[in-house]
Chain A
Amino acid sequence: MKPAVFDYHSPSELKEALHLLNEFGYDAKIMSGGQSLIPMMNMRLARPKVVIDINQIKELNYIRINNSVIQIGGLTRHYQIEESKEIEQVCRLITEGMKLIGHSQIRSRGTIGGSVVHADPTAELPVMLSTLGATITLASAEGQRTVTTEEFFMTYLTTTIEMNEILVSVEIPIPPANTGYAIDEFTLRKGDFAIVLAAASVTLDVEGKVKAARLALGGVDGVPVLLDEVTDGLIGKIPDQNLIAECCMGIGDMVDPEPDIHASAEYRRDLCITYAKRVLELAAKRALKQQP
């Protein structure tokens, strides 16, 4: 299996890459880590005429943290995010979630921008970013725009990124103290695509009642599914096991997963409930530990 012939460009500046995108339009494909694109090219499911390799654009590889936001450059590799002590200190969900992405070899090359734009509904990053209320910044030769995850993800492998745009950064708001997180997934083998993936964050007030909570599922629809209906039921209450179980009971009716060779729709619905409960319970437990 060898890729078809393509013209190769390897710009070292964002400006140059955006210019090339304008020039080649739909004939061009941006290559970041290449861990999804190159397999598709090897199998000739993708045959771009022009590959614009952005791996030399060092200005897109960074992690910046201030008091309220973690900003991660689009070309930052999975292992850099996974190993960042600064991120672990302010947002452990990301650190834990990164470890679930593929294998060490994939995380050496794969980038946050590539994973987000690829928009695989079973991928960890889109689900994590939805849970955390992150924003995504896209650049074109004309300028930049910032969108929410809800605005960005459209359906399977499809986003609202325009033909002339490159994802330049992801911004994750640093959650308040008293916040606990959890992420977990069901896979057939370690590192495989998730059958169902769940992430949650729970923020408690001083009395130990839920002030804010988010729950997102992956692998059940074309985009990450945010279940505010479930987490709204936790607000203002002590998040014990019974309450969480009660709130999660209806999830089976809220999701509409497709069956495939790996799991029936019914089984996926069951997994959604099990994993939603699991991550919410763990997030609540961890939030409690954060209490002063």
Chain B
Amino acid sequence: MQRNLKKIAMTVNGKAYTASVEPRMLLSDVIRDELGLTGTHVGCEHGICGACTVILDGRPVRSCLVFGVQADQSDVITVEGLADSNGELHPLQEAFWEKHGLQCGFCTPGVLMSACHFLQQNPNPSREEIREGISGNLCRCTGYQNIVDAVELAAETLNKNKSSDTESAKEQGVHSGRAVNV
């Protein structure tokens, strides 16, 4: 069969990528199969489970409900973009570790990306707001209690870091080496 390939270029986690893809290839499959970034998980493939959530041009989206060709010239952040360049975990990831916010871990990349955007929008959420913020992600193991605990802890840490960052940035003018700044 004739494969009608389209060339796309995008920035993923701060790094430039190009790929030749069929228009029908979902962004989730482009990220995993073409770019080799398998941290983004594919669960239901019809926009229910949220496991494939990535940040596309600053907004959380289900990458199984966007075609790769639509992300041409876009900026994408996946779960691989959370830890910094030295491999040090993002405070959100730390908090999920600390609070046992995952069991099998399949839904976790999506939950992390949703939570990451949510905390940017709402740095001081109530538990109720956290539940609302992660309502687009299904987890079949945890019962969500520990996920909410983890997001709550991450919010605290991020706020603490922010105030100390501002002080040290004032002194030294440093920036974190992360693709994402929550």
A261 at interface by CB-CB < 8 Å: no
Please tell me if the beta carbons of A2 and B24 are within 8 angstroms of each other in the complex.
yes
Give CA–CA (A268, B18) in the complex, Å.
51
Give CA–CA (A103, B118) in the complex, Å.
12
B92 at interface by CB-CB < 8 Å: no
Counting residue pairs across A and B whose Cβ atoms lie within 8 Å, the total is 85
Hey, which chain B residues are within 8 Å of A17, CB to CB? none
Give CA–CA (A106, B56) in the complex, Å.
12
Please tell me if the beta carbons of A55 and B70 are within 8 angstroms of each other in the complex.
yes
A176 at interface by CB-CB < 8 Å: no
A145 at interface by CB-CB < 8 Å: no
Given A6-B24, A39-B47: A105 touches B67 (CB 8 Å cut-off): no
Hey, which chain A residues are within 8 Å of B45, CB to CB? 1, 42
A102 at interface by CB-CB < 8 Å: yes
Hey, which chain A residues are within 8 Å of B29, CB to CB? 2
Find the residue from A103, A105, A109 having the highest chain B CB count within 10 A: A105
Give CA–CA (A190, B56) in the complex, Å.
24
Please tell me if the beta carbons of B65 and A39 are within 8 angstroms of each other in the complex.
yes
Hey, which chain B residues are within 8 Å of A102, CB to CB? 136
Give CA–CA (A191, B23) in the complex, Å.
29
Closest to B45 in A: A1
B40 at interface by CB-CB < 8 Å: no
Please tell me if the beta carbons of B65 and A109 are within 8 angstroms of each other in the complex.
yes
Give CA–CA (A106, B59) in the complex, Å.
10
Please tell me if the beta carbons of B46 and A1 are within 8 angstroms of each other in the complex.
yes
Hey, which chain A residues are within 8 Å of B109, CB to CB? none
Closest to A10 in B: B69
Please tell me if the beta carbons of A38 and B114 are within 8 angstroms of each other in the complex.
no
Hey, which chain B residues are within 8 Å of A35, CB to CB? 47, 65
Closest to B64 in A: A42
Given A38-B47, A39-B65, A105-B50: A191 touches B135 (CB 8 Å cut-off): yes
Q: How far is the CB of B177 from chain A (nearest CB, A)?
A: 27
Hey, which chain A residues are within 8 Å of B53, CB to CB? 105
B132 at interface by CB-CB < 8 Å: yes
Task: Please classify how large the interface on chain B is, using the bins under 10, 10 to 19, 20 to 34, 35 or more.
Answer: 20 to 34
Q: Mark B101-133, 1 if CB is under 8 A from A, else 0.
A: 000000000000010011000000000000011
Hey, which chain B residues are within 8 Å of A191, CB to CB? 135-136
Hey, which chain A residues are within 8 Å of B4, CB to CB? 5, 7-8
Give CA–CA (A34, B1) in the complex, Å.
26
B90 at interface by CB-CB < 8 Å: no
Give CA–CA (A51, B65) in the complex, Å.
14
For window 70-105 of chain A, which residues contact chain B by CB distance below 8 Å? 79, 102-105
Given A2-B24, A3-B24, A42-B64: A108 touches B132 (CB 8 Å cut-off): no
Find the residue from A43, A104, A190, A191 having the highest chain B CB count within 10 A: A104
A4 at interface by CB-CB < 8 Å: yes
Give CA–CA (A183, B69) in the complex, Å.
37
Closest to B48 in A: A39
A150 at interface by CB-CB < 8 Å: no
A221 at interface by CB-CB < 8 Å: no
Please tell me if the beta carbons of B46 and A108 are within 8 angstroms of each other in the complex.
no
A–B Cβ pairs within 8 angstroms, 27 of them:
A2-B29, A5-B1, A5-B4, A6-B23, A8-B4, A8-B23, A8-B67, A8-B69, A34-B66, A38-B47, A38-B64, A38-B67, A53-B67, A53-B69, A53-B70, A104-B117, A104-B136, A105-B60, A105-B62, A105-B136, A106-B62, A108-B59, A108-B61, A109-B59, A109-B61, A109-B62, A190-B132
A residues apposed to B, CB below 8 Å: 1-8, 10, 34-35, 38-39, 41-43, 51, 53, 55, 79, 102-106, 108-109, 190-191
Beyond A42-B45, A104-B136, 17 additional pairs, beta carbon < 8 A: A2-B24, A2-B29, A3-B24, A8-B23, A34-B66, A35-B65, A39-B46, A51-B23, A103-B50, A104-B114, A104-B133, A105-B62, A105-B136, A106-B65, A109-B59, A190-B135, A191-B135
